[in-house]
Structure 1
Amino acid sequence: MTTEGRIPWCRSLPARLARFTGRTLWAEWHSIVVDPVRRLLRRGVFGLLLGFVAAFGVVFFHDIAQHPLGATWVERLGGVRADLPLWLSLLRTPVSLYVPALDLPVWAGITQLFLAFALAEVVLGRARTLAIAYATTVAGTLTARVMIAMGPGWWGLGLPPDCAHVLDTGPSAAVVGLFTYLAVVRRAPVVFTLTGGSMVWESIAVPNLAGREHLIAVGSAIVLGLLHGHRPRLQARLRSLLRIPERGYALAQPSTSPAPGTAGPPASPVPAPAGSVPPPPAAGRAQDAAMTSLER
């Protein structure tokens, strides 16, 4: 084999793969670490308000739940189960984000909770962070009700009826949804793999209610992340759909203008007030002015 027939090392497949991996990691480092740190330096510590509130809320409800009376009130305010009415579950869902789950350690998840809410607040803003966290949590709660209603079977999608009595609380679904949404929007494959891959492994290793809800949170966050850049197009599409019935309604209104080719009703003259003298015509006014000038 001659030298001309050899493939250069820089054009070989391992070299291209290494260069692609290096570019991807460098871009993800800037989008997930460098850019948020710059924004945080401009905004100050006040930009981490949601992270501190979320961490303090979990610690606060955890300490209250250590007492019997406090545990009762925590369950009344934020306890969500599938056997409760739907309106009551939705009413308790915002508080349930701060109620720690029973089978998970509190202090181990506070770091993830703080990082998820703090990073999302710096990158996405406060309103969108709360919207994504609530939407992914509600999606998991509603889908769990559907799975319990389906019953066991259904190719592993259904859940047994006993899961309806399990207390469904904790910010884990919101944390998973925020990390997944950030990974899709900021194009961070490493964060996406760590988040989504860990949830898939959890659902396979421990097939329980929490694992199913985490998968639903990941799926809903992916859909919301893909729709992130198409908001103007969706708004224009919605406006075009709303204009169709308005045009049809406008065409159905009776026309008050006369038909072409037909004369409308004659306009009635406005009567002049009594005792008033009509003004002379323009030609008469010119002649009176000429005579006056001659007499002078």
Structure 2
Amino acid sequence: MSSAGAGRREGPVPGPREISVPGRPEARALRRFARAEWGPLLRTVRSSLVTDKLRAIWLTLTAVCLTLAFQFVQNQAWGYQTVQNIGSVQAYEHLWVALLRTPLSLFVPALDLPVWGALAQILVVFGIAEICVGWRQTLVVAYVATLAGTMYARIGIWIGPVSPVGLPDSDKYVIDTGPSAAVVGLAVFVCWRYRARFTCALVVVAMVVEVVSIKNNLAGKEHVAAVLAVLAVCALGEVWRPREPREGRRVSGWGHPR
């Protein structure tokens, strides 16, 4: 060996376990929490998208296209009133009219919000829900959450502004459209089903804080109503589930994530 090579001798290089990484225990704890909280949900979404690709979210893509179509039509002079007639809900109207319009009101973007917000909400939350709980339950929960908001508007106006849960009489003329109540309800439902307890609690707390500190109006309170309605559905599902046969639980989707 040459003298030059001999002069470069160094001690053993420490292995990966010997290197001290600041904050490493905290990072491991965070990774464990993330795997426990979101691991099953993310694995389900990834597996379905790899296997079925866009077929896994056909309902979501249909909802996105429908929302884009409503946005285009309502921005035309000839189409605004048509969209209002089939998808706009206002609390002063007859209840049967509101009930007929409520399903389509999910896909009519709110006039005071950018359409890209509605599209992003539908694509992400509806897409995850469709993969994780199936398109039928996605539709049912979305409708339940939106219907809860529609019914709350009438109850809140009846209560009046004297109560924190009431609404002023002027809110009966507010045009009530958009997917936000359905999105919040679906987020709670999927988190509950996949036992993402922290995320579920975070969504609920965020909706309450929204009403208390940010958006103390019809839209904000409808979000809380949607959350309460979906939590009631989840609680009923938990009560009903143990009475099912094991195979029935697996088929219905209440037992194990698909």
TM-score by length of 1: 0.69
Of all paired residues, the percent bearing the same amino acid is: 37
Q: 2:68 aligns with which of 35, 41, 59?
A: 59
Report the aligned-residue RMSD: 2.4
- Contact between 1:184 and 1:226, CA under 8 Å: does it hold in 2? no
C-alpha separation in 1, matches of 2:169 and 2:244: 41
Aligned to 2:211: 203
Is the counterpart of residue 100 in structure 1 residue 140 in structure 2? Answer: no
| AA aligned opposite 1:35 | T
Q: Aligned to 2:92, what secondary structure does the other structure show?
A: coil
Q: How does 1:40-119 map to 2 (within 5 A)?
A: 40-119=49-128
- Cα offset for 1:26? 1.0
- Contact between 1:113 and 1:171, CA under 8 Å: does it hold in 2? yes
- Contact between 1:113 and 1:175, CA under 8 Å: does it hold in 2? yes
Deviation per residue, 1:101-153 (Å, 9 max, x gap): 12211112311211111111111011111000001110111012101011111
C-alpha separation in 1, matches of 2:158 and 2:91: 10
Deviation per residue, 1:49-88 (Å, 9 max, x gap): 1111111111110111111220000000001000011111
Aligned to 1:172: 180
Deviation per residue, 1:258-293 (Å, 9 max, x gap): xxxxxxxxxxxxxxxxxxxxxxxxxxxxxxxxxxxx
C-alpha separation in 2, matches of 1:100 and 1:25: 33
Q: 2:151 aligns with which of 110, 119, 142?
A: 142
Is the counterpart of residue 128 in structure 1 residue 128 in structure 2? Answer: no
- Cα offset for 1:32? 2.3
Comparing 218-227 and 163-172, the one that deviates more: 218-227
Q: 1:23 aligns with which of 1, 21, 32?
A: 32
Distance 1:86 1:211, change over 3 A: same
Q: Aligned to 1:69, what secondary structure does the other structure show?
A: coil
C-alpha separation in 2, matches of 1:234 and 1:103: 46
Gapped regions of structure 1 (runs ≥ 5): 1-14, 237-296
- Contact between 1:185 and 1:226, CA under 8 Å: does it hold in 2? no
Aligned to 1:157: 165
C-alpha separation in 2, matches of 1:108 and 1:25: 26
| AA aligned opposite 2:107 | Y
Aligned to 2:237: 228
Q: 1:183 aligns with which of 181, 188, 191?
A: 191
Deviation per residue, 1:147-192 (Å, 9 max, x gap): 10111112x1111110001001111100110011111111214532
- Contact between 2:121 and 2:179, CA under 8 Å: does it hold in 1? no
C-alpha separation in 2, matches of 1:121 and 1:212: 26
- Contact between 2:188 and 2:231, CA under 8 Å: does it hold in 1? yes
- Contact between 2:109 and 2:118, CA under 8 Å: does it hold in 1? no
| AA aligned opposite 1:57 | L
| AA aligned opposite 1:171 | P
- Cα offset for 1:22? 4.4
Larger relative contact order, structure 1 or 2 (CA cutoff 8 Å, min sep 6): 2
C-alpha separation in 1, matches of 2:108 and 2:182: 12
C-alpha separation in 1, matches of 2:43 and 2:237: 22
C-alpha separation in 2, matches of 1:147 and 1:153: 10
C-alpha separation in 2, matches of 1:108 and 1:232: 36
